[in-house]
Amino acid sequence: MRVAVVHAEVLPIPPVLGGAIGQIVYETVAAMPDIEWQVISRWDKALDSLKVDGRFFYVNIDSRLAAVRRVLHRLSERPLSADETRKFCYVDGAAEILCTSDPDVVQVENRPTFVPYLRKRLPNASFVLFMHNEPDFQDPRVLQAIEASDRIAFVSQYLADSVCYRYPNCERKSEVVYNAVDPALWQSGLAQHKKAKEIRREYNLVPERTVLRLDSLSFLVT
């Protein structure tokens, strides 16, 4: 199965600049090697120091801006904002990449406004909209995205209920998929207590609740 993931236009994957959604996507790809993945995210110079494999593809928004602005200026009935223009640069670049690979499934991460455009460009693909936050319910493209999606995944029941309350048609194709954790990273209370004492001695911390950030992970030391 060929599965393409279209990330939001804000951060790259691998998540060299952080980002919870990018981390989830990256670890999901690593955990499911039998799928033929194609992950699309925005280009950033922070990626220059990485050796990225062939599953990851990038849209350089800045390099597309001038040409896209000229086209949109001729075609649009109203001037687009800078944010709208950058988002169109990104989704149009993502569509170009997708059209060369013909994926079976396209999963759009947290950007319902991308779905109607991508669906028109790839009419034969199945679309999964993966929602991590509440959308802008005033945007008519959200309803278009729900109608154009084959499945809609939500990270919580609250989010699913909130969206399906406003758009009842999405309930029949919705699914709640909770974010997961690696249990190997968590220790028993006794082991954690012992580790906490070692951390307090090493960093000379007072015996109160303390939040540390070590090796890009956050720890609550009690």
For residues 188, 193, 196, 201, the Cα torsion angle rounded to the nearest 10 degrees is -150
Question: pLDDT tens digit string along 199-221?
Answer: 788 888 877 777 665 554 455 55
Mean of the per-residue pLDDT values of the chain:
88
Domain boundaries, the chain: 2-176, 183-221
The tokens describing 14, both together, are 């691998």
Q: Is the per-residue pLDDT at 105 higher than 60?
A: yes
* Closest by CA position to 195, among listed 180, 176, 179, 217: 217
Domain 2-176 has CATH 3.90.600.10: no
Residues in the chain: 222
pLDDT confidence of residue 81: 83
Q: Which of 69 and 35 is assigned the larger pLDDT?
A: 35
Q: Is the per-residue pLDDT at 125 higher than 80?
A: yes
Rounded Cα–Cα distance for residues 108 and 94 (Å)? 11
Q: Give the pTM.
A: 0.82
**What is the arithmetic mean of pLDDT over 33-48?**
96
Question: pLDDT tens digit string along 78-89?
Answer: 677 889 889 999
Q: Which of 193 and 188 is assigned the larger pLDDT?
A: 193
Rounded Cα–Cα distance for residues 98 and 176 (Å)? 26
pLDDT confidence of residue 157: 97
Q: Is the per-residue pLDDT at 77 higher than 90?
A: no
Rounded Cα–Cα distance for residues 187 and 98 (Å)? 42
pLDDT confidence of residue 15: 95
Q: Please, is 131 exposed, middle or buried when counting C-beta atoms within 10 Å of its C-beta (0-12, 13-18, 19+)?
A: buried
Packing angle between helix 82-101 and helix 61-75, nearest 10 degrees? 110
Distance of CA 78 to the CA centre of its chain: 29
pLDDT confidence of residue 104: 97
**What is the arithmetic mean of pLDDT over 163-180?**
95
- Kindly report the CA angle at 110 between 114 and 128, in degrees rounded to 5? 70
pLDDT confidence of residue 130: 98
pLDDT confidence of residue 216: 47
